[in-house]
Structure 1
Amino acid sequence: MKNFFFGSIKPYYETEAEMLVLGDTFSVLEQIKPGSIDMIFADPPYFLSNNGITCQAGQMVSVNKGEWDKTSSFEEKHEFNRRWIRLCKSALSTNGTIWVSGTLHNIYSVGMALEQEGFKIINNITWQKTNPPPNLACKCFTHSTETIIWAQKDEKKAKHYFDYALMKELNGGKQMKDVWSGPLTPQKEKTYGKHPTQKPLYLLERIILASTNEGAVVLDPFCGSSTTGVAAKRLGRRYIGIDNVQEYIELSTRRLIGEVKSERVSCMEPKYV
């Protein structure tokens, strides 16, 4: 996997089909060879750590995730998004695509940054959570959705891949719509530890199946617990994950090693209509 990089990248964990890199996302992205990545899934900081409260396992807890989830101004947040998106565009192949998840705290900045950096938005997926945490403040509607933007390079030669037939098949013979309903990450996917914004496997499996062929190279620049990597491994894709927190890279390593020993059972239970 080192042949995707310039210079002397030192992987934290590496096999023939996967690599985890502990380091600053920007510095690592700068060393990826241009046009070498087929698909990117990014779950960047949502910047919602504002000392508020939420509900977790029936308990009132702080929404704060860590220093990586804080910002001082909209300008700082937007420049952050433009910078990593710019680097991802360089790494992405002409026909490659990028998926970015977020909430109201960051997704509007992400959408604007994508267009400013030369991307064309293909779809705006709404992930509807069937079991969201309750709204403890009772001053607004319960937050139960996240947005996932799917985009391609805004270039005449760019032709993105979409497995329309498979998506239709998985949706009972009907065209799949852009609202996907399903539960939050189950406890069984946190066996090796958990990340505060960990995505469920079924979500990443669907994204990878929809937009890549087997053998494709999938990059996650904010990999966290590497749900992207586990899904890629199950589906026969190659994977590169980057994170600047050693705790999360260690968790990612445990999950990827554990996946070798697990039965590769598809996580496709939720219905997508």
Structure 2
Amino acid sequence: MKCNIINGNCIEEMTKIPDFSVDVIFADPPYFLSNGGITCQSGVAVSVNKGKWDKSMGVNENHEFNKKWLKECQRILKKDGTFWVSGTHHVIFSIGFAMQELGFKILNDISWEKPNPPPNLSCRYFTHSTETIIWAAKNEKSKHYFNYDEMRKINGGKQMKTVWSILPPKNSEKTHGKHPTQKPLELLERIILASSKEGDVILDPFMGSGTTGVAAIKHKRQFIGIEMDEGYIELAKRRIFDCDLDKLI
């Protein structure tokens, strides 16, 4: 399977990708969480700051950024292609509204439930234990693909619901290094198996540590990943090479 890893700004790099050329997109964009607060990690209070890329630019600027990259994603999706995007309440409502503005067809909103979330240190809120994943088609005319039988098989012979209980990434997924917002391989495998076929082109415009690429190559899909940070580019390459990648271009 072919794998194309690109170092650059996703909006700029996606403008180079032809219209109607990608089957499935998974995006894990900045959540704009780096606000100087603290969270709990392994029983220790740590900063929530992840880097300059995760700092809020303000409500209006954040929304315009979301519309720009979403518009490029919509352009390069095939006519029956689908799009997945994850987020917490800090960003997901902006993304959902922007998708409605752009004419995506929202298919489902998945609640990814984390069985062992970090405790809320302030004790002034409920413990945050979910993220929302929106699944959408390119537009209202799209005839999206859904591997119903595979999802039912994974779910023990029953229809799969929109609440997915999946643990965070295992230690084995971090042997080459880790990313502060790394998603579990099981999550990406489910998404890819649900909405694509062997040989399809999968794009991740915010590639991070390359989990989408690992899942895509493992299940015989083609992969395009875009990432600004050179360190994470190298991390993603190491992880994807572990999948016995035939060709990295």
TM-score, scaled relative to structure 1: 0.88
What CA distance in whole angstroms lies between the structure 2 residues aligned with 1:164 and 1:100? 20
Deviation at 1:202, TM superposition (A): 0.3
Match of 2:242 among 237, 241, 258: 258
What CA distance in whole angstroms lies between the structure 2 residues aligned with 1:153 and 1:87? 11
What CA distance in whole angstroms lies between the structure 1 residues aligned with 2:20 and 2:140? 14
Q: In the alignment, what sits opposite 1:154?
A: 139
Q: In the alignment, what sits opposite 1:45?
A: 30
Query: Percentage identity across aligned positions?
Result: 58
Superposition map of 1:122-201 within 5 A: 122-156=107-141, 158-201=142-185
TM-score, scaled relative to structure 2: 0.97
Q: In the alignment, what sits opposite 1:270?
A: none
Query: Gapped runs of 5+ residues in structure 1?
Result: 1-15, 262-273
SS at match of 2:20: coil
The alignment status of 1:240 with 2:218, answered yes or no, reads: no
Match of 1:102 among 62, 71, 87: 87
Q: In the alignment, what sits opposite 1:114?
A: 99
Q: In the alignment, what sits opposite 2:57?
A: 72
The alignment status of 1:207 with 2:194, answered yes or no, reads: no
Q: In the alignment, what sits opposite 1:83?
A: 68
Deviation at 1:121, TM superposition (A): 0.3
SS at match of 1:193: coil
Aligned CA RMSD, in angstroms, stands at 1.0
Q: In the alignment, what sits opposite 1:62?
A: 47
Q: Which has the higher contact order (CA 8 A, sep 6+)?
A: 2
Matched AA of 1:83: K
SS at match of 1:61: strand
Deviation at 1:256, TM superposition (A): 0.8
Deviation at 1:155, TM superposition (A): 3.6
What CA distance in whole angstroms lies between the structure 1 residues aligned with 2:64 and 2:161? 32
Query: Gapped runs of 5+ residues in structure 2?
Result: none
SS at match of 2:244: helix
Q: In the alignment, what sits opposite 2:14?
A: 29
- In the TM superposition, structure 1's runs of 4+ consecutive aligned residues that sit over 4 Å from their partners are none
What CA distance in whole angstroms lies between the structure 1 residues aligned with 2:154 and 2:75? 33
Q: In the alignment, what sits opposite 1:225?
A: 209
What CA distance in whole angstroms lies between the structure 2 residues aligned with 1:130 and 1:202? 14
SS at match of 2:110: strand
Matched AA of 2:147: D
Deviation at 1:186, TM superposition (A): 1.3
What CA distance in whole angstroms lies between the structure 1 residues aligned with 2:119 and 2:168? 13
